[in-house]
Amino acid sequence: MFVEEGNKYLIGNYARYPVSFEKGEGVYLYDEKGKKYIDMLAGIAVNTLGYNYPALTEAICDQAKKILHVSNLFYIKPQIEVAKILVENSCGDKVFFCNSGAEANEAAIKLARRYFYDKKENRFTIITFEGGFHGRTLATVKATAQPKYQEGFEPLPEGFKYANLNDIESVKSALDENTAAVMIELIQGEGGVIPAEKEFVKELYTLCKEKGILFIVDEVQTGIGRTGKLFAYEHFGIEPDIITLAKGLGGGVPIGAVIAKEEIAKSFIPGTHGSTFGGNYLATAAAKVVLQEVLKEGFLEEVEKKGEYLKKKLKEIGLNPRGKGLMIGCPLPEEKKASDIASKALEEGLVIGTAGGNTLRFVPPLIITEKEIDEAIDILKKVID
């Protein structure tokens, strides 16, 4: 019923599974027939605290009884509180809020350009990496160096150049006097859960510092504890100039954010950029709880530990995991299609994702337990066999 109606009334830009969920509890989802699923996808790395997490549900309900939204014409208390937590726990100084990952990256691109405009330097080009993913707006599609996302949407904005991940020479070739910034996912998510090498990131960072190029890290998928640190950049011994966030920050409530160093942030003066909904009461009341929980003593260590456990279990069933914390991908041989395995797993009550390069993707709620991981692996083993 919902399949026919959905196909009738919704624009068909998603390849949807014929399933509709009605409720969730912890790491479990229930469809409208009451069938139970264990969720290793978390709304694609969004539902940090799983479903119906008491403190989050309560904060959202309490906030709804007071104010959902006013406008950024006014100071919004939970927005300021979330900004404070982000600044105190990152290398950045100031925060801008929006509603999604694409918007966060769009804002970061604008901020980088405006910074150099203010400095009266003719720098506007952003270097991004083949296989990356930065969003679906025109600028972020152009930043996404993958033809399949760009085809048919030309003309796309100018001012982007591409380099190869883990290849510093390719970055050097892409650089010129107009380069404003590099923008990188430290683990490419959509591209197939492909980690950047530490040495490469350090070299890239040093190169940027030498040349006065801004270092933007797209932490839309890797941020908020996903990799076992609050931000993935912490694994690399670097301090980005700009960090973009979304997905896990709101635990399921739409929110995006840009954290920037003071000197750069000050280029966004009144009138330069904005968002009606960005950082509203509802979204930031949720984000505040997510951050408080993720920053509780031991939480991030647990993510790291559970990530190692999941990797070990995936190896035991013959898969070849890569990634960090609870952001793990398993590339499959050509004869096994990741999308077929994900569909079969769903039939068996396991929600998993896929990513580029025929990869299975595991980005469960960060609250998952080892016992729940075992349960998911048992289903996966059956499906793969």
Are residues 10 and 4 in contact, defined by beta-carbon separation less than 8 angstroms?
A: no
Binding ligand PLP (rule: CB under 6 A), the pick from 24, 43, 78, 189 is 189
Q: Which is nearer to ligand PLP, 56 or 193 (CB)?
A: 193
Are residues 264 and 241 in contact, defined by beta-carbon separation less than 8 angstroms?
A: yes
Does the active-site annotation cover 93? Answer: no
Secondary structure of 42-54 as H, E, C letters: HHHHCCCCCECCH
The catalytic position among 96, 97, 129, 133 is 133
Contact status: 106 vs ligand PLP (CB under 6 A): no
Q: Is 298 exposed, middle or buried (0-12, 13-18, 19+ CB in 10 A)?
A: exposed
Binding ligand PLP (rule: CB under 6 A), the pick from 133, 200, 205, 236 is 133
Binding ligand PLP (rule: CB under 6 A), the pick from 29, 56, 98, 102 is 102
The catalytic position among 142, 160, 218, 261 is 218
What tokens does 167 get? Answer: 């290849």
What tokens does 84 get? Answer: 């404070």
**Smallest separation (angstroms) from ligand PLP to the CB of 257:** 11
**Smallest separation (angstroms) from ligand PLP to the CB of 37:** 21
What tokens does 19 get? Answer: 């399933």
Contacts 24+ apart (CB under 8 A), 118-121: 118/267
Are residues 324 and 187 in contact, defined by beta-carbon separation less than 8 angstroms?
A: yes
The catalytic position among 161, 247, 311, 313 is 247
| Contact set for ligand PLP, span 75-94 (CB under 6 A) | none
Does the active-site annotation cover 268? Answer: no
Q: Which is nearer to ligand PLP, 50 or 256 (CB)?
A: 256
| CB-based burial, 176-199: b 16+ in 10 Å, e otherwise | eeebbbbbbbbbbbbbbbbbbeee
Alpha helices (H) along 164-272: 168-174, 198-211, 262-265
Kind and range of the H or E run holding 39: strand 36-39
**Smallest separation (angstroms) from ligand PLP to the CB of 200:** 18
Binding ligand PLP (rule: CB under 6 A), the pick from 63, 105, 125, 358 is 105
Over the Cα atoms of the chain, what is R_g? Answer: 21
**Smallest separation (angstroms) from ligand PLP to the CB of 246:** 5
Binding ligand PLP (rule: CB under 6 A), the pick from 39, 114, 181, 190 is 190
Identify which of 73, 92, 84, 77 has the alpha carbon closest to the alpha carbon of residue 265.
92
User: Which residue's Cβ has the minimum distance to ligand PLP?
Assistant: 101
Q: Which is nearer to ligand PLP, 39 or 103 (CB)?
A: 103
Are residues 347 and 312 in contact, defined by beta-carbon separation less than 8 angstroms?
A: no
Binding ligand PLP (rule: CB under 6 A), the pick from 139, 184, 232, 246 is 246
Binding ligand PLP (rule: CB under 6 A), the pick from 100, 125, 267, 284 is 100
| Contact set for ligand PLP, span 255-294 (CB under 6 A) | none
Does the active-site annotation cover 129? Answer: no
Binding ligand PLP (rule: CB under 6 A), the pick from 24, 101, 279, 321 is 101
**Smallest separation (angstroms) from ligand PLP to the CB of 293:** 21
Contact status: 135 vs ligand PLP (CB under 6 A): yes
Q: Which stretch binds ligand PLP (CB under 6 A): 11-19, 146-154, 182-190, 291-299?
A: 182-190
Strands 359-362 and 327-331: antiparallel
Are residues 240 and 233 in contact, defined by beta-carbon separation less than 8 angstroms?
A: yes
**Residues belonging to the chain:** 385
Strands 160-163 and 36-39: unpaired
**Euclidean distance between CA atoms 367 and 293, whole angstroms:** 10
Count residues binding ligand PLP (CB under 6 A): 14
Point out which residues bind ligand PLP (CB under 6 A). 100-102, 105, 133-135, 185, 189-190, 218, 220-221, 246
The residues annotated as belonging to the active site are: 133, 218, 247
